[in-house]
Amino acid sequence: MALSKQEIAQRIAQELQDKWYVNLGIGIPTLVANYIPKNIDVVFQSENGMLGMGPFPIEGEEDADLINAGKQTVTILKGGSLFDSAMSFAMIRGQHVQLTVLGAMEVSQNGDIANWKIPGKMVKGMGGAMDLVASAENIIVAMMHTDKSGASKLLKRCSLPLTGVNCVKKVVTNLAYLEIKNNAFYLIERAPGVSVEEIIAATEGTLIVEGEIPEMKF
Amino acid sequence: MINKVVNNAQDALLGVENGMTFMLGGFGLCGIPENCISELVRLGVSNLTCISNNAGVDDFGLGLLLKKHQIKKMISSYVGENEEFERQMLSGEMDVELIPQGTLAERCRATGAGIPAFFTPAGYGTEVAEGKETREFNGKMYVLEHAFNPEFAFVKAWKGDTAGNLIFKGTARNFNPMMAMAGKITVAEVEELVEAGELDPNQIHTPGIFVQRIFQGKDYEKRIEQRTVTPKS
């Protein structure tokens, strides 16, 4: 069975390490916060100016002055802090944030990512994504393996305008967990019940399959 | 202490003209200068270049200026919440420059800090870097980005005093402090205006030197774009 969005987030959460500061993008990445392993401490950074982002407020306690980068009402945890956008991106570009998780429309086998524009159709802007991918040492992309028409989103080369080059190291999709190195996707794990053949068929870019590929564990 | 207080938005926007370049603080609808935007709509000034992280929603924030076709060019990082914006952009009625959010913040900061340009890694290898100088530092590539030159900056703070000192609340701070530094004339509207001396100097976010005009705002809507809650258990 291919993973649900929640399960993709759950698998990514296993990559979190103790004492990491983490920036989660909009969509599937936001869900990662629901699955933090119990024995570790991580702090979520929201690029609109908050460290220590907490869960959604209790109904009736929403504060228009406390939102996340997706413009959702949130709370701030004890020990959290607030700051302006220049300082926020100083944290990001200055590599004080250990992990960035973001969504993508396309990823290529050399680690390029496209997620901000479909020429002539959709132009929403890059927000903070270009700053994040240009600077983060650890970038995990969370996305579906194929688009709605079934076309692969893991490509030899991205066809859409790029967000960043040579930056993505790991990709977790509904089918697989892959690493990017040596100009190829390396298949590390497969979703429970998904065959290597299915993953090969859904991957347009060069896919390296070495030995037995284990199933993800939850 | 120099007194920066003006009576209202009307007085605060004295000198605003067609064709000018403005900075407007806020992230989404959080921390936007609501009173100044209303006054810009009332004045009907047009051919404006607006520098703001987002473009409001269809019926609020900068969306109000868009609807009346007052904006000639928008400089933003993310504009996904506004259908009229997307329509004007795709049809070519309005010019749009989309830039990375951190670059936008730093360009605002640089403007007020006497830094004409700086190198950033954001956007290298993408269309954002097209036509711009790039340079390698320590084995990594960077893009040269320039400061802005706005006539006015409009910012919104939680509290302010008669000397122009500002304190922001929550994530409503966002771009407001850097934009306050950047305006030739910076107008600050505040939810609560107090006498100089009433704010703790240790807690000031934006020192009054950056603010030319300050006024007590009114009728704040402070709309929430995405109301997300945890149900009461």
ipTM of the complex: 0.96
What are the CA-CA distances from residue B123 to residues A113, B81, B117, B130 (Å)?
12, 22, 15, 9
Chain A residues 51-110 with a CB less than 8 Å from chain B:
55-74, 76, 82-86, 88-89, 92-93
Instruction: Kindly tell me if the per-residue pLDDT of B233 is higher than 80.
Output: no
| Residue appearing with tokens 């998904």 | A194
Counts for chain B of helices (H) and strands (E), in that order: 6, 11
pLDDT digits (tens, 9 = 90+) for B72-112: 999 999 997 788 888 898 888 999 999 999 999 999 999 99
Report how far apart, in Å, the C-alpha atoms of B92 and of each of A90, A216, B46, B72, B130 are.
34, 48, 17, 10, 20
Comparing alpha-carbon positions, the chain B residue that sits nearest to A93 is B121
pTM comes to 0.96
CA distance B44 to chain A (A): 27
Percent of chain A beyond pLDDT 90? Answer: 94
Contact A84 B77 (CB under 8 A): no
Q: How far apart are CA B176 and CA B109, in angstroms?
A: 10
Tens digits of residue pLDDT in A12-21: 999 999 999 9
> By the CB < 8 Å criterion, does B77 face chain A?
yes
A215 flagged as catalytic: no
Q: For A99, how many CA atoms within 13 A lie in the half-sphere containing its CB?
A: 23
Residue B29, pLDDT score: 96
Q: Is B204 on the interface with A (CB under 8 A)?
A: no
Cross-chain Cβ contact B232/A58 below 8 Å:
yes
CB distance A10 to A218 below 8 Å: yes
Cβ of B158 and A64 within 8 Å? no
Question: Which residue in chain B is spatially nearest to A158 when comparing CA positions?
Answer: B126
Check CB contact under 8 Å for B102 and A92: yes
Q: Which of B233, A30, B50 is nearest to B64 (CA)?
A: B50
The minimum CA-CA distance between A60 and chain B, rounded to whole Å, is 8
DSSP for B98-141 reads E--HHHHHHHHHHHHHT--EEEESTTTTSGGGTTS-EEEETTEE
pLDDT by residue (tens digit) across A26-71?
889 999 999 999 999 999 999 999 999 999 999 999 999 999 999 9
Residue A192 has pLDDT above 80, yes or no: yes
Which of A50, A73, A116 lies at the smallest CB-CB distance from B228? A73
DSSP sequence for A67-120: B-TTSBB-EEEEEEEE--HHHHHHHHHTT---EEEE--SEEETTS-EE-SEETT
Q: Which residue of A has its CA nearest to B83?
A: A124
Residue B232, pLDDT score:
84
The rounded distance, in Å, linking the Cα atoms of B67 and B168 is 29
Confirm if B211 and B180 have CB atoms less than 8 A apart.
yes
Nearest Cα neighbor of A93 from A33, A47, A24 is A47
- pLDDT for A185: 98
Does B100 reach chain A within 8 Å, measured CB to CB?
yes
Q: CB–CB of A123 and B90 under 8 A?
A: yes
Instruction: Name the residue in chain A with its Cα closest to that of B91.
Output: A120
